[in-house]
Amino acid sequence: MLIFVFATFLYSQKRPISTYSIVAYDEKTGEMGVAVQSHWFSVGSVVPWAKAGVGAVATQSFVKIEYGPDGLELMEKGLTAQEALDALVSRDTSSAVRQVGMVDINGVVAVHTGEKCIEFAGHKTGKGFTVQANIMASPTVWPLMAITFEQAEGDLAERMMATLEAAQTEGGDLRGKQSASMLIVSGTPTGVSWKDVVLDLRVEDHPEPLKQLRRLIRINRAYRHANTGDHYMETGDIKNALVEYDLSSKLYPENPELKYWAAVTLVGEGRLKEALPMFGEVFKRAPELKIMTPRIVPPGLLPNENKVLDQIMNAEQ
């Protein structure tokens, strides 16, 4: 990716930084997203743009940031992705060094690779998606990305992740790898921007950004289950809360706190016997959670019964 001076970031217009990305629409859910990997610091603060009910944009090569917010604004006014991109390219005197991919709420895609983007550079479109890349180690990178996305299974995050990984196995960035990002917005917009973000993850600087991004996606899913469990707890649906907490702890076993809250929920359900071994395992791994346990009695998260609390506090013995 090539970056120039903008806002609070000072990027060199002369320094060639390679990038590959995918912009996609999920026909089943209506979600839209962008996933990108680059040999540049904090690619997630530059390339991906998306708004629920509107569209998604990836702006790269000699990046002109305006393609992101301006593209979304034009699509929100009713222009298709192609119409919005055409309008922006037509008034850009440096369009020859730009690379931009867009998708709108109807799944229409548009892409531009300027003739002066550094080789190997190119793009390929398919139903509801476009992949684009510049300064690649091989001209086969973006064709493989397209095939991978079309054949991948799972949700939009999984399919885009598989696409990035395929690009890397094909050689990826000529100059290496440094950062990665994924942004997905909901297919059922509420009009409240923060509620409409399904996933927004960034790996700012890492020797293996894609491996780290995949790890963060797994953890994100774990906490989404945990949050859903919290919602069920608030509504008194203990059965479904336990299901969500269990899924959460299985997705992220490295974090004992997720199992801790599942155990707390079991106690509230009157299933202390099942919860005690879980508390014992958690306390061995995270003694700080044992210290915290009496503190969650006053808020009503555990019953105010000394006998119950004593059994929990002695669970690891």
> Are 142 and 132 a contacting pair, CB within 8 Å?
yes
Q: Where in the chain is the domain with CATH 1.25.40.10?
A: 222-313
Q: Note the Cα 108 to chain centre separation in Å.
A: 22
Q: Where in the chain is the domain with CATH 3.60.20.10?
A: 19-207
Task: Compute the distance between CA of residue 128 and CA of residue 111 in angstroms, rounded to an integer.
Answer: 12
- pLDDT score recorded for residue 42: 95
- pLDDT score recorded for residue 119: 95
Name the amino acid, one letter, at 104.
D
- pLDDT score recorded for residue 8: 34
Tokens of 238: 């203990």
> pTM (2 decimals)?
0.90
Name the amino acid, one letter, at 21.
S
Fold of 19-207: Glutamine Phosphoribosylpyrophosphate, subunit 1, domain 1 (3.60.20)
Tokens of 79: 């222009």
> Are 32 and 187 a contacting pair, CB within 8 Å?
yes
End-to-end Cα spacing for the chain: 56
CATH number for the 222-313 domain, one of 3.30.450.70, 3.40.50.720, 1.25.40.10, 1.10.3720.10?
A: 1.25.40.10
- pLDDT score recorded for residue 238: 86
pLDDT in tens, the chain (317 residues): 544 433 333 343 444 446 999 999 999 999 999 999 999 999 999 999 999 999 999 999 999 999 999 999 999 999 999 999 999 999 999 999 999 999 999 999 999 999 999 999 999 999 999 999 999 999 999 999 999 999 999 999 999 999 999 999 999 999 999 999 999 999 999 989 999 999 999 999 999 999 999 999 999 999 999 999 989 988 888 889 989 999 999 999 999 999 999 999 999 889 999 999 999 999 999 999 999 999 999 999 999 999 999 999 999 76
